[in-house]
Structure formats: C-alpha cells, structure tokens
Amino acid sequence: MVKPRDNEAEQALEAEDIALEAFIHALKLRHGYDFSEYSRASLKRRAQELARKLGVERVGDLIPSTLYEPALVREIVSHLSVPVSSLFRDPEVFQAMRSEVLPMLASWPRINIWLAGCAYGEEVYSLAIMLAEAGLTPRSQIYATDFNDYALERAAEGIFNRQNLPEYRSNYLASGGPGRLSDYYHARYNLIRMRRELLEKVVFAHHNLVTDGVFAEAQLIMCRNVLIYFTQPLKDRVLTLFADSLVRGGFLVLGNKEALSTTSPVADRFELVSAHERIYRLKRDRA
Amino acid sequence: MSDADYAALVIGGSAGSLEVVCRLLEGLEAPTRLAIVICLHTASRDLDDLCAVLGRHTELPVVEAEDGTAVEANRVHLAAGGYHLLVERSATFALCAGPRIQYARPSIDVLFESMADTYRRYLVGILLSGANADGAAGLRAIHRLGGLTIVQTPETASAPDMPRAALKLFEPDRQNSPSQLLDAVRVISRLAR
C-alpha cells in the first residue's frame, strides 16, 4: 500500500533540515542566541516564514544574512520568538491568582515578581492592574524579562491595537476585575496606550532563559507559553532555574497547556495550587 | 511492522466534519499499530467533552495531544483549541501559541506539514468538510513526501470549501464519500495490525 520512496522529495527535506541546523549554529556562534534546544517543528516554520519575509527562498539562504548583516539580528531573533498574548489572556488564571495567590503574596513585606518571557507586555500590564486593585503596588516590584529586545521595547511602550479591546474587556471582567478596564488606558485613533503609572514598579530587562542564570529572588514567577517551545532537557533546566529563583512558599504560574510533569527533576520541590490554571508553589521545607 | 504499513493517520476537519469523524472512528479496527491524530477547528481549550463524544465511537482511547507526549499507536490524539499542534521528528507532540493561521488555531496545515516531515511515506492524510482553505497546503505537503492523501468529495461535504481548496492546489490520491472514507480507514487500520 505504501508508495515507493521518492528520493528527490526526501533529499529536499533532508537538505532543509541540515540548513535549519546550520542556521541555528550560525546564529549561536555569530550572535550568541542559542535556539539549539528549541523544538524543531515550530522553529522550522518560523525560520521558513522569516525567509519569506526577508525575500529569500529557503532557510539555508538565511545563513549569509546571519553571518554578514549584523543589523538584521534583531529582526531574526524577533521572528524566531512567538510573542502572542492578550490582556488577561485565559482570564480564569488571573481570577485564580486574585483569589489564591495575591492574598498569600500580601503576607510578604516585599513582593518581587519575575515575568519571564514578557513579550509585548500584555501580562505585565494585566499583573500591574491586578496588583493595584489588590493594593499591593507600593510593596511590589515586577521584573519583566525577554531575550527579544524588540519585544521589550514594545512592552515598555504599552501600545496595543484598539480592535482587541472587546476581547481585553471581556477577559478583564471574567478575571474578576472590580473596576473598569478603561481606567487603565488612553484610547487614540485605532490604538490604546496603557497608563504610564502602571509601569511605576516595573523594570524591563534582557534575560535569556536558555543561557542566563537566576535573575531575582522572587515571590512569584509567571512564565506562560514559553516552555512549550523548548525540548525536554531545556524545559527541565528552566524549571530548575525557577525553583532556585523562588523564595520558599513562592508561586509559579505556567501556561494552560504546560505542566510540571512528575518526571521533572524539581517536581517534588513544588506543590500544586491549581491544576487547571497550572499554578504551583515551592514547598516551604525541602524534602 | 512491515515496510508496507502506514504508521499514522491524520484527519483535519472544520465546519460539518464532526459527524464524519465519528463515523470514521467506527471503522478503526483495534488493536492497530496506526497512531491517529485529529485536528478540528471547532475544538475548545478544554477537550474533555469532545474526547468523551468521540470515545463513544471507537474502542481506542481518545486523548488530548499534550505537549511533549508521544504519538502512540492504537490511540486517537486530539488537538486542543487555542494552540497549534505539531509533531516532532521524535514522534512527540509540541504546541505553539502563535497567531492564528488562515483564521485557525489549531491550524490543520501546521499539523499536516509537521507530520509529513516526520512520517513521510508512512502517513495517511484525510481532509474533511470545512468552510475555509486550511489543510490544503498541509495535505499537499503530505502528498509531496509520498504519503497517501484523501479528500472528502466536495459534493458530500456540508461545507465544501476546504476539500475544494485542496483540489484546486493539487491532485490528491483519492476523493471519497464518507462511506468510502470509512472503508479506507478500515483497510488502513487493519493492515497496520
């Protein structure tokens, strides 16, 4: 039943696979960005999209730009990351944080929050709004990090498309927001700009989860829809980094489809707070 | 498994495809060495209900395709809503939270293309009813790498756009009505026993 082997098609695939590895290697050696432990299937798609965007045919054609056009590295790195979010995305997670996490955070005199992989900043502003509504802003400090410098700049600007407002608004309400979302932004033309006061306790910083170490001693780490792009060994390493960065009793919030699997080396250091919302807590005493 | 056997069957569908998917599942002969993966645009984030509905039509376990888990034989894996689903060369699932592609997330193209790369000649792709053009490019990718490609005959689809888009792009191996599709699934799963 299976058709005979088509060597031409398979060789084209093999060449494209090698080109992807060579491109990853060039990016790492030339610019220090290491994608070697990213899941290949979606990385290949993003590299192919990048090739189209830069007007070249194949992934292998990206290598000369990577090597000889340093000005392009920002764009290349930006395209290889996946910065898609929404204000209060997955509102049930923010609702669970309002009820399960914030009251516990309130027991610390200082609250350090590390938002790892902040992309365009939607979660930074969502979190800042929640902290303000819980009266915790004066004691809080949010460290929002990403390895994508373009995304960090966008996040600091806090400008989003106005056409997303209905979604943002319904997310905010579903998260249990007690006020009006419109109190937190200015609308102009087809854009909204988040109020600057929300950034009062926010520091944006470049940090690469692949290559950099412990960033801060945190009471809460949020890292949603980042681990899905990593291979298992890198997932495990980053989870260890998070466990090492949290104070005892500190919280970890992952993406809806990211689990702290029982095979993870740090699985026994965490306890589950909410399975559906993927909220975990570092145990108080180490076993 | 002999060299003549398919290793995986992937089915993509959108509007009007759920009923056909249920019928096709009834054609699966268990146990089979075939791994089955299904991507429906209509799937929600929480798949428990859909797994239960589809589970009534097959002896095989129907489970959510979770990030990092293996694509397993004798199992039906479902793509959850809100994420793209891909298969790595190690035959494990990976998720992507990237933007919608052709208004769809999960995108059938994304799943089909990644499975084409992984399974090549040992993949069967079936594209069902739907009111958009997703899946056509993915099915062509399966075709190019030697897999077997089948589209639902547009005339038998309640939303014919998706099969039509594929037919416009290339010539698949077969165009089948739902009952022919059922026979095909029966034969393919039996051969992979």
Amino acid making up residue A158: G
Does B103 reside within a domain? yes
CB within 8 A of B187, min separation 6: which ones?
none
Neighbours of B151 (CB within 10 A): 27
Judge whether B1 lies within some domain: no
Tell me if B121 and A5 make a contact (CB, 8 A cut-off): yes
Could you tell me if A95 and A168 are in contact, meaning their C-beta atoms sit under 8 angstroms apart? no
From edge to edge, which strands make up the β-sheet containing B35-40?
A: B62-64, B75-78, B35-40, B8-13, B123-127, B148-152, B174-176
Catalytic: which of B17, B107, B109, B134? B134
- Residue B2: inside a domain, yes or no? no
Q: What pLDDT is attached to residue A286?
A: 58
**Tens of pLDDT, residues A51-61:** 999 999 999 99
Annotation marks residue B46 as catalytic:
no
CATH number, position B169 = 3.40.50.180
Q: Which domain holds residue B70?
A: 8-191
Cα dihedral A90→A91→A92→A96 (10° resolution): 120
CB within 8 Å of B148: residues ≥ 6 apart = A1, A2, A3, B6, B123, B124, B125, B142, B173, B174, B188
Answer whether residue B138 is part of any domain. Answer: yes
User: Which of A178, A176, A198 is closest to A91 using CA atoms?
Assistant: A176
Would you call B80 and A225 a contact, using CB atoms and an 8 Å cutoff? no
Q: Chain A partners of B68 at a C-beta cutoff of 8 Å?
A: 232, 235, 261
- Cis status, amide bond into B106, omega within 30 of 0: yes
Domain count, chain B: 1
Over chain A, what is the mean pLDDT?
94
pLDDT digits (tens, 9 = 90+) for A198-226: 999 999 999 999 999 887 799 999 999 99
Residue B50 domain flag: yes
Residue A77's pLDDT is 93
**Alpha helices per DSSP H over B16-62:** 18-27, 48-55
**Percentages helix, strand, coil for chain A, rounded to the nearest 5?**
50, 20, 30
Residue from the list B45, B96, B120 with its beta carbon closest to the beta carbon of A42: B96
Question: Are A1 and B4 an interchain contact pair (Cβ–Cβ within 8 Å)?
Answer: yes
Contacts of residue B193 in chain A, CB cutoff 8 Å?
none
Q: Considering only CB atoms, which chain B residues are within 8 Å of A228? A: 67, 83, 94-97
Inter-chain residue contact B6 with A2, CB threshold 8 Å? yes
B-chain CB neighbours of A15 within 8 Å are none
CB-based contact, B89 to chain A, within 8 Å: yes
In a domain, B120, yes or no: yes
pLDDT confidence band for B1 (50 / 70 / 90): very low
Tokens 């045919």 label which residue? A57
Q: What is the pLDDT of residue B138?
A: 98
Closest-CA residue of A relative to B116 is A13
- At CA A281, angle to CA A248 and CA A108, rounded to 5? 50
Asked if pLDDT for residue B139 goes beyond 60, the answer is: yes
Residue in B95, B62, B90, B69 with CA at minimum distance from that of residue A261 = B69
Contact A282, A270 (CB under 8 A): yes
pLDDT, residue A82, reads: 82
Contacts of B118 in chain A (CB under 8 A): 41
Residue B21 lies in a domain: yes
**A126-150 pLDDT per residue, tens:** 999 999 999 999 999 999 999 999 9
Q: What is the mean pLDDT of residues A64-80?
A: 93
For every residue of B156-182, DSSP letters joined together read G-SSTHHHHHHHHH---SEEE-HHHHH
pLDDT tens track for B84-124: 999 999 999 999 998 899 889 999 999 999 999 999 999 99
Q: What angle in degrees, to the nearest 10, is found between the helix axes of A40-53 and A73-80?
A: 140
- Paired with A223 in beta bridges are A254
**3-class DSSP state for residue A265?**
coil
- Of residues A138, A58, A104, the one with CA closest to residue A219: A104
Using the predicted structure, report yes or no on whether residue A195 has a pLDDT greater than 50. yes
Q: Where are the beta strands (DSSP E) in B67-109?
A: 75-78, 84-87, 93-96
pTM listed for this prediction:
0.94
State the pLDDT confidence band at B75, using cuts at 50, 70 and 90: very high
In this structure, the number of other CB atoms found within 10 A of the CB of residue A211 comes to: 11
Asked whether residue B46 is assigned to any structural domain, the reply reads yes
B101 touches A at CB < 8 Å:
no
Nearest C-alpha in A relative to B184? A1
Q: Does B117 touch chain A (CB under 8 A)?
A: yes
Q: What is the ipTM of this complex?
A: 0.92
